[in-house]
Amino acid sequence: MTSQMAQQRFSTEQAASDIEAAIEAVERAMLGVVNSRVTVLREASQHILEAGGKRIRPRLLMLSYLALGGTDYDYAAPAAAAVELMHTASVVHDDINDHGVLRRGRPSINAKWGRTFALLTGDFLFTSVYQLMAPYGALNQILADAATALVEGETLQAEAVKNNDFTRSKYAEIIALKTAALFQAAGDLGARLANATKQQIEAMQSAAYNIGLAFQIVDDILDIVGDEATLGKTAGIDIEQGRGFVSAQTNGHQTTHEHKGDVFESVKAKLMKGDYLEEARAQARALIEMAIEQIKTLPESGARLALIELANQVVDRDF
């Protein structure tokens, strides 16, 4: 083994252990802030947090931070925790509106505690985001913008479903708002917390934004081809609700509750044969390639390598 190779291996191992330590700091920050005096808020929040989830948004933030020279996990972790809790809050409210009963392999909060407490737990997770971000001063604007975009995207989606108006361009607008904006905020916050240059911040914003778009497209594909046990959440909701990538391709084909099983199976069969899914996968892959190019403008490091790996995993996953 050459000394350069040893150096390389050492730094990769070091980076991996740094990244794991960083993610553990995020978990601590999340569990810390939801430790409410109110039993049901504490237990319902722990229920969904302990179920895991991919943690892709906080990982993106921490990797962006580490890749741009940040070293103090405990400084960046609460911001990463805030980004993940913002996502979690929206998921909890989403499960109320969609009647989702399974989430991260567990009963949804809605299913286990009922609608009233699910609504309040979602609200509590929102206020926890605010708690975590309060010490970050001017950086609050970044997450405020992403939070607004997220709710706007969810609402546009609900409107499109209601009006049976789910076009391709509407789909693009929705996933930009409901998913890519929060990913972008994660990349952005990580870079700014590391005192990155303007150019580096912009590179991470763009990369994270593109990863977010790809992530949502793949999520929508998996909603069709994945099975519930692997996904850990109620599958087929998108088709049932007439939304998501596929509905956009088929121009808002909407089904009813009564015939869910039949219609779902037939739409699915049709799509699995068609080119829709392949086209969507190709789009996601193209977005990831762009993201990787942007990431490659950052200085070489173990964290940069991990960012590229994260980007690739977004399209290569089956859950």
Binding site for a copy of itself (CB under 8 A): 36-41, 90, 93, 96-97, 115-117, 119-120, 122-124, 126-128, 130-131, 133-135, 137-138, 140-141, 143-145, 147-148, 150-152, 154-156, 158-159
Residue 2 or 39: which CB sits closer to a copy of itself? 39
The token pair at 236 is: 């087929």
The token pair at 140 is: 């609050």
Q: Cα-flanking dihedrals φ and ψ of residue 203, to 5°? A: -60, -45
Q: Shortest gap between Cβ of 63 and a copy of itself (angstroms)?
A: 25
Query: Which residue type is seen at 220?
Result: D
Q: Shortest gap between Cβ of 74 and a copy of itself (angstroms)?
A: 18
Residue 41 or 221: which CB sits closer to a copy of itself? 41
Identify each DSSP E strand in the chain by its residue range. 102-103, 106-107
User: What proportions of the chain, in percent to the nearest 5, are helix, strand and coil?
Assistant: 80, 0, 20
**Cα 124-127-130 angle, rounded to 5 deg:** 155
Residue 8 or 116: which CB sits closer to a copy of itself? 116
Q: Shortest gap between Cβ of 150 and a copy of itself (angstroms)?
A: 8
Q: Shortest gap between Cβ of 201 and a copy of itself (angstroms)?
A: 18
Tell me if 239 sits within 8 A of 246, measured CB to CB. yes
Residue 29 or 147: which CB sits closer to a copy of itself? 147
The token pair at 42 is: 């504490």
Q: Shortest gap between Cβ of 171 and a copy of itself (angstroms)?
A: 15
Q: How far apart are CA 174 and CA 197, in angstroms?
A: 30
Residue 111 or 158: which CB sits closer to a copy of itself? 158
Q: Shortest gap between Cβ of 45 and a copy of itself (angstroms)?
A: 11
Q: Shortest gap between Cβ of 134 and a copy of itself (angstroms)?
A: 4
Tell me if 104 sits within 8 A of 48, measured CB to CB. yes
Residue 17 or 155: which CB sits closer to a copy of itself? 155
Q: Shortest gap between Cβ of 190 and a copy of itself (angstroms)?
A: 18
Of the chain, the end-to-end C-alpha distance in Å amounts to 37
Which residue is it, tokens 């490659």? 296
Q: Which long-range contacts (CB under 8 A, 24 or more apart) does 35-42 make?
A: 36/124, 38/124, 40/113, 40/117, 40/120, 40/121, 41/120, 41/121, 41/124
Residue 131 or 167: which CB sits closer to a copy of itself? 131
Q: What is the DSSP string of 266-297?
A: HHHHHHHHSSHHHHHHHHHHHHHHHHHHHHTT
Residue 134 or 225: which CB sits closer to a copy of itself? 134
